[in-house]
Chains A and B, each alone.
Chain A
C-alpha cells in the first residue's frame, strides 16, 4: 500500500535557524516520484521539488536542500537559515509511475519561523 508519513505535526524555530522536515514513504512500485509542496497562509499549493526514484542525488536550491535515501524510504527537506517567509505548511507526496494520476500526501508539517 502507498503511504506518506510526516511525523512532525508542527515545528517552531527562530529566524536563521536550520530546520529539517521529515518524510517517510511506502510503496511497492519500483518507479515512483516524490514531491514537496509548500502551502503558505494564503492557501495555494506551491510546487517545490520532484524527485525520481532512480535518482538518489541530493539536491540544493538556494536555502533549500533535499536528502533522498531509498534505503530508509525517506525524503527529507532542510531549510537553511530559515526566514519568516518560510512559515507555511509543507506537504510531502508520492506518485507511482503506473498510477500517476493518483498522488498520496502526507498530513503536512506546519513550520513557524519566529523573528
Chain B
C-alpha cells in the first residue's frame, strides 16, 4: 500500500550541484506531476506527465528537467542548483474517474541549496 514514494526526504546541496528527486507510484496512474511549495505561495506545478514518454511544463519549470520512461517513475532533475530552488517538493499521481479527479501526494522532499 505504498501509493506515491519520493526520495530523498531531506537534501542539502551546494550551488551549482545537480541532483535527482525520485518519485514512484504503484497505482498504475497515467498522470504524474511535481509541485514545489514555498512559504505563502501554496503549491505550484513544475512539470507534469500524462503518460510514459510524454511530459510538459507547468507554472514554474525553469531549472528543472523531467522524463517519464515508465508509468511508475517520474524523476525530477535539478541540473545546476540555485538558492532559489530551496523549497519543499511534492510528487503526485492522479487520475480522472467516474466520480471525478483524484490526486495522491508523496510525503515531500525538503531541499536546501546553500
Chain B residues with CB under 8 A of A105: 35, 42-44
A62 within 8 A of B: no
A26 to chain B, nearest CB (A): 14
Q: Does residue A102 face the partner (Cβ distance < 8 Å to B)?
A: yes
| Closest CB in chain A relative to B41 CB, distance in Å | 6
**Which A residue sits closest to B105, measured CB to CB?**
A45
Bound CA span A52–B102, Å: 11
Q: Are B100 and A50 in contact, with the CB atoms below 8 A?
A: yes
Nearest opposing residue in chain A for B50, CB measure: A101
Residue of A nearest to B33 (CB): A101
Is A95 interfacial (CB 8 A cutoff)? yes
| Cβ-defined contact, A101 with B40, below 8 A | no
In the complex, which residues of chain A have a beta carbon less than 8 angstroms from the beta carbon of B110? 43
In the complex, which residues 68-115 of chain A have their Cβ closer than 8 Å to any Cβ of chain B? Answer: 91, 93, 95, 97, 100-103, 105-108
Residues of chain B within 8 A of A100, CB atoms compared:
31, 94, 96, 101
Closest A residue to B93 by CB, please name it: A101
* Cβ contact within 8 Å between A95 and B103: yes
* A64 interface residue (CB < 8 Å to B): no
Q: Using Cβ atoms and an 8 Å threshold, which residues of chain B touch A108?
A: 40, 42
Give the interface of A toward B (CB within 8 A): 4, 6, 9, 33, 35, 43-45, 50, 52, 91, 93, 95, 97, 100-103, 105-108
